[in-house]
Structure 1
Amino acid sequence: MRIPAAALFALAAITMGSWWPTSRNHGGVPSSEELAEAARANPVTLLVDFRDDVSDAALAVNSYLEEPISRFSSNDRLYRIRFRTAEEAEAAAHKLRQDPMVESVDHDVQVSLFPDEVASGPVESPECAREGKVDTAARSFPDDPCFHYQWHLHQVGLPAAWKLGQGDGVLVAIIDTGVSRVPDLQAARLVPGFNFVADNEKADDDHGHGTHVAGTIAQVTNNARGVAGIAFRAALMPLKVLSAQGSGSMGAIAQAIRFAADHGAHVINMSLGGPFPVTPVRRAIEYAHRKGVLVVAAAGNDGRGRVSYPARYPNVVAVAATQWDESTTFYSNWGKEIDIAAPGGNIRVDQNGDGKPDGILQNTLLPGGKGDGYLWFMGTSMAAPHVAGIAALVMGAGVTRPDVVEKVLLDTARKPKSVAFDGHDDHYGAGIADAQAALNKAQRSRGAATLGLGVALALLGLGLIAVALVSRRR
C-alpha cells in the first residue's frame, strides 16, 4: 500500500523542523605552522594510525618497531614508533604517508594539564570535611554544609535548575588523571573505566585534577557533607590518560574517546589540551559524535587568542572561564572557536568577600597523595565540567542528540553582567552557561517535538484512511 506523499512530507517537516540543527564546524584544520611546531615538540617519535584491517603479519615485516598505545592498539591499529634522530623520523613519516596501509602519521606530542591549574596553590577548606547536622524540620536543599562557598554553581543557575532535572540516566566520561572515591564521592555512580597510562582497568586518580573535575559534574549532593555537583544523579566513567605528573600522550586520548563512545557514554569531558593537532584525536571525536556523544573541552589557560586542542576541533564544545564578577579570567584563552563560558574561578582574589579565594571548590586528593580535602582550583579545566554537567542535565531531560544538546546550551547562554555583545563573542562564545534556562528550553522543545510527532502520526493516519477509502471505492 502506498502512503500519500503529503502525509510523508508532513511527518518529515513536523518531526525535523528547526529542532534538527546541522553540525557546527569550528574549522579546526591545522596550519603548516602548527604541524611544524608539533614536529619540533617531539621530533623523534611518530604516532601512526594503520588501517584497522592491517594484519599482524603485515606489521611484522614493515621494518618498524611499533609500540602499542594500549591493549586496544590490537583493534584500532594505533601505534607509536620511535627513532634515533629527527631526520630518521622525518624520512619515515614521508614514507609512511605514501603507504596504503597507513591512515595518518603525526608526531606523538604530549598533552598536559594546563598551566596555573594548581601553580598558585589549591587552598584547603577543612570545615567542609565535617558532616553537617541535619535538622529535618529546617532542612534546606541542598544541605551540603559548604554549598554556600560554591558561588560558581549559582552563576550557572543552580539550585533552581535542580527542580527541573538532576541528570538521571546519563553517563559522563572524564578523560583526565583518573577519579578516586574521596569521601564526598563515596556514593557517586561510577562505572568501570580504563587506565591508558598503566594499560589496566584501575583508573584511580593519583594527582587530584580528575577527581576535582568529577566532583563539579556529579559530586554527591544533599548528603549533609561537603559540597555539591551539577548533575549529581548522573554516572561517571573514569578514563585515565594523564600520569601523576599531569602529562600523557595524544594517542591515549584518542583511544579513550573511542572507549567512551563504545561503552555508552553520553558526554565526554576533557579538561586538558595542548597547542598541536593530532589526526587520530580529531577522528576519534568525529567517531564519538557519530555515535551520539557530546564532547566538551577546556579552551586553555595561556591567556592568549588561540584556543587549545582538542577544544579547537569541530564537534567539540569549547569552554572559556569566568570568575565571580562574570568577567573572563586572566588565563582563559579566547578565539572564534569559543562556544560558551562557565566558571573557572580565580583563587588570587576574593571578589564576593566571603573570606575564601574565588576558586572552584570540590573534594579531591591533596597534593602529594596524602589524603583528601576540599580544595579551590582555577582554570578552564574547572569551567569545562560545569558545561559537561549542564549537558548531562539536558540529556537527562530527554534531549539526546549532541548537535541538539549543544544548540540548547548556546541558545540559552546568558550575557554577562558587565559586557554587552550580540551573537558570538571571542571571549564568551554565546555567553555564560545557564542550567535553568537550558532545562526549560529542553523540556519545551521535547514537548513540542512530541506534539509534532503526534500530529504527524495523526496526519499519517488520516492519509492511510484516505487510501483505504479510495481503495474500497475502486
Structure 2
Amino acid sequence: MASRKAASKYQVTGLIINVGYSPSLRQISSIVTQLRKDVPEFAALVSKDVRASLLGKGADDILVPINPRKSKSIAEAWGAVHALMAHELVTDCEPAVQVPSEQEPPLPATLKSGGSNHDAPGSEKQEWSVDLVHARSAWSQFSVSGKGVKVGHPDTGYTRHPEILDSRLLVAEGYNFEEDSADPLDPLKGSGTGHGAATASVIMANSTNSPRVFGVAPAVKLVPLRVSDSVVHFNFSNVAQALYRARDRKCHLVSMSLGGPWAGRSLGRAVDTVIADGLILLAAAGNKWPWVVYPALFDNVVAVAACGPGFKPWRSSAAGPAVDITAPGDSVWRAMTNKKGAEKYPVKRSSGTSYAVATTAGVCALWLEHHGVAELQARYGGRLAAVFLSLLKASVTEVPGWDASAYGPGVLNATKLLETSLPALGAASRKTGMATPANAQGIQAIDRLQKYFPELTLQQLAKATTAILGDRAKGRGQAKVKNQAPSRPTLMDEVEFYVATDAGVRAAFLAAGGKGKTRAGLKSATSQPAKALEALASEPLRQLIKA
C-alpha cells in the first residue's frame, strides 16, 4: 500500500513541547527529566543526556531532539505526543518531522522553485520585474533604496555570488540552523541548491555595481539564516528558531521564500511573538500546490502569489482566498549558483512564488525607509504588520478581469504604496488562530481539514471524514468501546498532519468524499479509505479509526 511505503519517508528529529512559560536552562533540564520518568513513550525516544533548548529567547516552546538510535517511526512519535499532552507539565506538543529533500513525498505537486524551462515573453530585460511593480519610479520619486532597513532571510543560506557578496550581507549576524554552526554558507546540496542566494539577489542586488540583477532594495542589509537544503518544509523548527534570531538581530522584516503543507502551532506562536515585537513577515504562497502553504497561510503573514510580464498570473502559483497580493515571479532574473561547471555564478531567469515574495519584501523595505523604521514601530508597535498589509492591499495595480478571490486585490505597486498616507490608528493586529484545540471531534474537525480539500464541498468532506474517522467526526457523539479512554484532542492534529503530507491519505479522503480517482499505487488506499490512515497512525488514532 502506498501509505505503508510512505511511512519510511518521515524522519522524526525531535519533539516540540510547550510549557506555557519561558523556562530557564535548569528548569528545562528538570522538565525533561520528569517527563522521561512519567511518560514511557517519551523516554523511549529521548536520551537521558539530551540537550533540549528553547526555540528562541523568551519562547515557551522547548525543542527536544530525538536520539537517532532510538527513533523508530512517525506513529511512535505521535504516540509520544498524545501521551505528553496528558501530562500536567505540558500545555501543547507536536513532532518535528523532516522529509529528506531527495525523498520528497508524492504529494499532488512540489514546492520547488527551480529554474523554468520556459521564459515568459516580455521578460528579456533584467529590469522588467522591478518596472512592473514601479520600484524604479519609487527610487527616484521618494529617494529610497532600502537604506537603514535590515531583512531576515531564512533560506538555504548564502553563496559567494558577486550579486550578493557585499558588506550589506551580514553573514556574522546569521546562523546555520541546519548544521548548528555559525556560518550559514549554502553547501549546495539537496533540491534547493543556491536558492538562498537567488532570492537574496532579488531583494538586495545593487544594479549600479552589477547591472545583471535589479534588486528591489539595492541598499538594504540582509541577514542570511540557513534553515534547510530545500524550500519544501515539513519541519518548521528551524524556521521558528530563525524568526526569533531575526528579531534578536534587530531585523525589521523577514522574507520567507519557502513553505510547507503542514505547520505545528509552535511556528504560529513564533510568528505571533515576533510580529508583536514590530516585525513584518512575508512568505511565498507556494508553487503548483492546491492550497496556500504555511507560513503564508497564517493570517498575519503576507501571502504572495506570482505573476509574469503583462500582469499575467503565473500558471503554477498557488492561489486562493488566503493570497494577499501578487508580484512578479514568472521568469525573474536572479543570481544562480552552480556547484560544477565553467560558469559558477551566472545570472538567469527562474520562476516561482519565491521571487514574488522577495520582490514584495524589497518593496516593504522601501516603505519602511520612506516613513522611518523607528517612527513606524513607535507609532504602531505590534500593529505594524497589520498596518503594512492593509496599505499594501489598498495600493495595488488593478488589472481588468483580475480574479481577486485567487490572487488578492491586484499586483504590487511600490509607488502607490509609498504615496498612500499612514492611518491615524491602523489595523488591529491579527493572530494566527493556532491555539491549542479544544476538542478533536465535531464540526471543528471538519473545518480544520477543509483548507486541504478545495475540491470538496463541506458536505462531501463531512461524508469523507465520517467514512474514515467514524460518526464522532460529525459530532454525533462518541462511539463507546470497551476499556477505551476518551480520544485526546491531539488526534485531529495527527489526522491533519497525514492529510497534508501523505498522498495516499489525501487520496483516500477525496475518494470517500466522491471526488477521488483510483490511481496505480493508491488502489487499496482509496477502496478502503480508513486503511490509508490506519497504516500510518499511532495506536490512539488507530483505536479511533477502528471504533
TM-score normalised by L of structure 1: 0.71
For 1:168, the equivalent position in structure 2 comes to 147
Assess if the C-alpha contact under 8 Å between 1:361 and 1:374 holds in 2: yes
Distance 1:326 1:248, change over 3 A: same
Aligned pair 1:149/2:126, yes or no? yes
For 1:257, the equivalent position in structure 2 comes to 243
Q: 2:393 aligns with which of 410, 427, 440?
A: 410
For 1:217, the equivalent position in structure 2 comes to 203
5+ long unaligned stretches in structure 2: 1-5, 37-42, 105-109, 378-383, 426-547
Aligned pair 1:177/2:163, yes or no? no
Assess if the C-alpha contact under 8 Å between 1:194 and 1:200 holds in 2: yes
For 2:333, the equivalent position in structure 1 comes to 361
Aligned pair 1:117/2:102, yes or no? no
1:422-433 to 2 correspondence within 5 Å? 425-433=404-412
Matched residue type, 1:365 = T
Per-residue Cα deviation, 1:247-282 (whole angstroms, up to 9, x for no partner): 673111111111111211111011111111211111
1:26-425 to 2 correspondence within 5 Å? 42=10, 47-51=15-19, 52-53=22-23, 54-63=27-36, 64=43, 65=46, 76=59, 77-81=62-66, 83-110=71-98, 115-118=111-114, 120=116, 148-163=125-140, 164=142, 165-191=144-170, 192-205=173-186, 206=188, 207-243=193-229, 249-304=235-290, 306-345=291-330, 359-368=331-340, 371-398=344-371, 399-400=376-377, 401-416=384-399, 418-420=400-402, 425=404
**Shift of residue 243, structure 1, vs aligned partner:** 2.1
The alignment yields a C-alpha RMSD, in angstroms, of 3.1
Assess if the C-alpha contact under 8 Å between 1:122 and 1:376 holds in 2: no
Query: How many angstroms apart in 1 are the aligned matches of 2:16 and 2:30?
Result: 17
Aligned pair 1:439/2:418, yes or no? yes
Distance 1:412 1:91, change over 3 A: same
Query: How many angstroms apart in 1 are the aligned matches of 2:402 and 2:124?
Result: 30
**Shift of residue 312, structure 1, vs aligned partner:** 0.3
Assess if the C-alpha contact under 8 Å between 2:201 and 2:215 holds in 1: yes
Query: How many angstroms apart in 2 are the aligned matches of 1:344 and 1:217?
Result: 13
Q: What SS does structure 2 have at the residue aligned with 1:284?
A: helix
Between the two proteins, the alignment pairs up a number of residues equal to: 369
Deviates more, 1:147-156 or 1:157-166: 147-156
In proportion to residue count, which structure has more strand? 1
Query: How many angstroms apart in 1 are the aligned matches of 2:138 and 2:96?
Result: 42
Matched residue type, 2:325 = I
Q: Structure 1 vs Structure 2: percent identity of aligned residues?
A: 29
Query: How many angstroms apart in 2 are the aligned matches of 1:268 and 1:327?
Result: 26
Query: How many angstroms apart in 2 are the aligned matches of 1:230 and 1:261?
Result: 22
Deviates more, 1:264-273 or 1:199-208: 199-208
Query: How many angstroms apart in 1 are the aligned matches of 2:318 and 2:232?
Result: 20
Assess if the C-alpha contact under 8 Å between 2:232 and 2:260 holds in 1: no
Query: How many angstroms apart in 1 are the aligned matches of 2:205 and 2:128?
Result: 15
Query: How many angstroms apart in 2 are the aligned matches of 1:247 and 1:312?
Result: 14
Q: What SS does structure 1 have at the residue aligned with 2:336?
A: strand
Query: How many angstroms apart in 2 are the aligned matches of 1:120 and 1:147?
Result: 14
**Shift of residue 92, structure 1, vs aligned partner:** 1.5
Query: How many angstroms apart in 2 are the aligned matches of 1:266 and 1:341?
Result: 22
Per-residue Cα deviation, 1:365-413 (whole angstroms, up to 9, x for no partner): 1255872110211111111111111111111112452222222211101
Query: How many angstroms apart in 1 are the aligned matches of 2:280 and 2:268?
Result: 14
Assess if the C-alpha contact under 8 Å between 1:174 and 1:270 holds in 2: yes
**Shift of residue 150, structure 1, vs aligned partner:** 2.7
Query: How many angstroms apart in 2 are the aligned matches of 1:312 and 1:374?
Result: 31
**Shift of residue 153, structure 1, vs aligned partner:** 1.1
5+ long unaligned stretches in structure 1: 1-37, 124-145, 346-358, 450-474
Query: How many angstroms apart in 2 are the aligned matches of 1:99 and 1:81?
Result: 19
Assess if the C-alpha contact under 8 Å between 2:328 and 2:355 holds in 1: yes
Q: What SS does structure 2 have at the residue aligned with 1:427?
A: helix
Q: What SS does structure 1 have at the residue aligned with 2:422?
A: helix
Distance 1:43 1:110, change over 3 A: closer
**Shift of residue 183, structure 1, vs aligned partner:** 1.1
Query: How many angstroms apart in 2 are the aligned matches of 1:236 and 1:256?
Result: 13
Deviates more, 1:163-172 or 1:92-101: 92-101
